[in-house]
Copies of this chain bind each other. A is one copy, B any other.
Amino acid sequence: MAKSAPNQRRATVRDVAALAGVSPGTVSKALNGTGQISETTRSRIEAAAEVLDFRPNELARSVFERRSYTVGVITTDSFERFSVPVMLGAEDALGAGRISAFLCDARDDPIRERHYIDVLLGRRVDGIIVTGRSSNPRSPIQVDKSIPVIYALTPSTDPDDCSIVVDDVSAGRLAGEHLVGLGRRNIAHITGPRSFNAVNERAQGLVAALAPAGLQVAGEILYGGWTEAWGRQATQILLRSRPDVDAIYCGSDLIARGVSDALREAGRVVPKDVALVGTDNWALIAEGARPPLTSVDMGLADVGRLAAQRLLEAIDGVRHSGTELVPCHLVLRASTESPEGMIAAL
């Protein structure tokens, strides 16, 4: 350990002015591109700024403009599987650095959340994105109406707020249409807890996709945990009640992994005997399965991008309200066969 000298002082506008032999106001004009300055003076100032490694002070600019060019992102899920893609999408849309994001991890704790909101307001953020781990609505955060807030993934219970969420009905519909298109007739559904909106909406989408083919979900819809163990257990139940099952749509990739293992151990071949579709398109899980899993991608990065776009619009005075749905898409892997039409088209 070495005790070093205090940090070297950074160059200021005054230092640049002294070196260039002009007033600080002239430096400011030159670097901001405002006012009338001769080309030689401008060059001299730019050279002085270069020599001194002077960087225009964004903090000072922020105070002047009453804008901080920062936004806050508050999540409840400790930046895990769901909020990270939302955040990366938002980062893309915030313009790669023109606006920077403060990330705050509320860890499902209302006191942490309140604390972070106060920190963000103290730092004069231009707006706040609130995200979480489920699509169940949450009560709005308490901030002055002058601060734009967008809810991403987890909508606000206040219909006047702007919320960007996954279209979970489309997830079930895409899976159902794909399996019907493959000629499957006995399509079962193994999913997560009934207390999740996403669970109910995916089931609803699946039912809607089967109806035009004159089909219903095979057996009872099996609601349980978001785990591999539940996937294995539900498969035992399903194979006893509906041994004729020829396709299963799962509410998550982890559940589908459990289903895949249980089918193999029961001597059922995927996809020949039973086609299998997961949800999340979580590459590590979907690609590690035998065979790799076809899965519904929830477009979380798109949710983040749209949320950031709506936030920027709100900061500029154009506010949206209500809930916008972002559609899912299907990623094909070996756990479902290609529909004959697709093969014919190749």
- Which residues of the other chain, B, contact A21 by a CB distance below 8 angstroms? none
Instruction: List the number of copies, as a whole number.
Output: 2
Q: A10 on the interface (CB 8 Å rule)?
A: yes
Please tell me if the beta carbons of A63 and B57 are within 8 angstroms of each other in the complex.
yes
With A124-B57, A145-B8 known as contacts, the answer to whether A119 contacts B100 (CB < 8 A) is yes
In the complex, the answer to whether B55 meets A122 with C-beta atoms within 8 Å is yes
B7 and A288 within 8 A (CB): no
A146 CB-CB contact with B under 8 Å: yes
Once A55-B122, A254-B284, A319-B4 are accepted as A-B contacts, the answer to whether A102 and B105 lie under 8 Å apart by CB is no
Q: Of the candidates B9, B62, B97, which one forms a contact with A115 in the assembled complex, judged by CB atoms under 8 Å apart?
A: B97
- Residue numbers in B under 8 Å from A321 (CB-CB): 2
Q: Quick check: B68 and A79 within 8 Å, CB to CB?
A: no
Q: Mark A64-78, 1 if CB is under 8 A from B, else 0.
A: 001010100000001
Contact of A88 among B1, B105, B124 (CB under 8 A): B105
A245 within 8 Å of B (CB atoms): no
Which residues of chain B come closer than 8 Å to A7, judged between CB atoms? Answer: 146-148, 317
Chain A residues bordering chain B, tally (CB within 8 A): 65
A100 touches B100 (CB 8 A): no
Q: How far is the CA of A87 from the CA of B83 in the complex (A)?
A: 14
Residue in B80, B103, B124 whose beta carbon sits within 8 Å of that of A101 in the complex: B103
| A339 in contact (CB, < 8 A) | no
A215 contacts the other chain (Cβ, under 8 Å)? no
- Which chain A residues (144-167) contact chain B, with CB distance < 8 Å? 144-148
Since A2-B320, A53-B144 are in contact, a sample of 18 more A-B pairs with Cβ atoms closer than 8 Å, ordered by chain A residue number, is: A3-B317, A3-B319, A7-B146, A7-B317, A59-B59, A59-B68, A60-B63, A79-B79, A79-B87, A97-B115, A97-B119, A100-B119, A101-B102, A102-B102, A229-B288, A254-B284, A254-B288, A258-B288
Q: Which residue numbers of A lie inside 8 Å of B, CB to CB?
A: 1-10, 53, 55-60, 62-63, 66, 68, 70, 78-80, 84, 87-88, 91, 96-97, 100-105, 112, 115-116, 118-119, 121-124, 144-148, 227-229, 254, 257-258, 261, 284, 288, 317-321
